[in-house]
Structure 1
Amino acid sequence: MAELMTIARPYAEAAFAVAKEKNQLTEWSEELANLSTIASDDAMQAMIGNPEYSDENVLSVFESVMGANLTAEGKNLLSVMAENKRLAALPGVSETFEELKAEEDKRVRATIITARKATVEQKKKLSAALNAKFDAEVEISYEEDPDLIAGIKIKVGDWAIDGSAVSQLNKLGAAIAQ
């Protein structure tokens, strides 16, 4: 999966540059999401990975499914990716494009995992702290994991804090073992 994301990044960055230049970030976002959905289909994945199908065959399926919603720029992106045997990376292109768009819009996605359901007051404090830390509008999704015992885990992109009791106990155990 990491390899596909590495492959996807240059395509996403190129698409983002074109979209930004033409002030079409939303349109590109929708088109890439649709292309990603098509590429993620099991039958389409099998077709993309099957050498019996030519690039033209695969592209014709994308074109027929997308219909009038496929722009000339989208078709160019598909052609280049097909030529380089990279169509399987389309979901990663869409995901990376969305990350770039969120950065541009000064939005950040965060996941907060707690042992018990966070209260409204706790959510307000966490939201304010994360908004200040990242100087952006942070979209937070909350999850519960009773295995944490107590405490909290926060994930924002590559940045993470593990303040769970389980983590602290593991650190204590490692320190005692040394």
Structure 2
Amino acid sequence: MAELMTIARPYAEAVFALAKEEQTLAAWSEQLANLAAITNDAAMQDVLNDPSRTEDEILGIYAAVMGEGLTEQGKNLLTAMADNKRLPALSEVAEQFEILKAEEEKRVRATVVSAFDVTDEQKNKLSAALNAKFDAEVEISYEVDPSLVGGIKIKVGDWALDGSALTQLNKLGAAIAQ
């Protein structure tokens, strides 16, 4: 995973710089999402892993599936990645691009896991607090995990907060065991 991220980052950054310069972030976002979906398809995985397939055959499959949705610059990206045997990293390129796009648009994604359903009032307070903390529009997805016993876990990118009762009980148990 870390290796794919390292491989994908320069491609994502180059595409992002181009998309930003040409003000085509949304179009590139859609194109990369479609290319990633093609790459993740089980049949396409077999094609990518088949040593008898030529680069032109593989690029032809992408072009045929994408049709008019594949721009000339998209073809150039595919060609560059194929030349360097990096096509399997296309999904990660799309993910890295979305992260850069979200940062540019001052949007952040967060996941909140709670032991119980979060009320609308609690959602509003969490949203306001996270928007202020990250100085961005935070898109929050909520999950319920009764095993937490109580409290919440919040994850935003690399930042995490674990205020669950389960974690506190585990820490207490570890302290007692020593």
Q: Is structure 2 residue 170 aligned with structure 1 residue 175?
A: no
Residue 61 of structure 1: SS of its match in structure 2?
Answer: helix
Count residues with an aligned counterpart.
178
2-structure distance, mates of 1:77, 1:19: 12
Residue 50 of structure 1: SS of its match in structure 2?
Answer: coil
- For residues 116-135 of structure 1, the aligned pairs below 5 Å read 116-135=116-135
Q: CA deviation at 1:8?
A: 1.1
Q: CA deviation at 1:76?
A: 0.5
2-structure distance, mates of 1:90, 1:26: 17
- For residues 58-137 of structure 1, the aligned pairs below 5 Å read 58-137=58-137
Q: Which runs of 4+ in 1 moved over 6 A?
A: none
Q: CA deviation at 1:10?
A: 1.1
Residue 138 of structure 2: SS of its match in structure 1?
Answer: strand
Q: CA deviation at 1:2?
A: 2.6
2:78 maps to a residue whose letter is L
Partner of 2:47: 47
| TM-score in terms of structure 1 length | 0.98
Q: Is structure 2 residue 158 aligned with structure 1 residue 158?
A: yes
| TM-score in terms of structure 2 length | 0.98
Range that drifts further, 114-123 or 62-71: 62-71
Cα deviation code 1:28-51 (max 9, x no counterpart):
001101111111110101111111
Flag structure 1 segments of 5+ consecutive residues without an equivalent: none
Range that drifts further, 129-138 or 4-13: 4-13
The percentage of aligned residue pairs carrying the same residue is 67
2-structure distance, mates of 1:153, 1:147: 12
1-structure distance, mates of 2:121, 2:70: 46
Partner of 1:147: 147
For the aligned residue pairs, the C-alpha RMSD in angstroms reads: 0.8
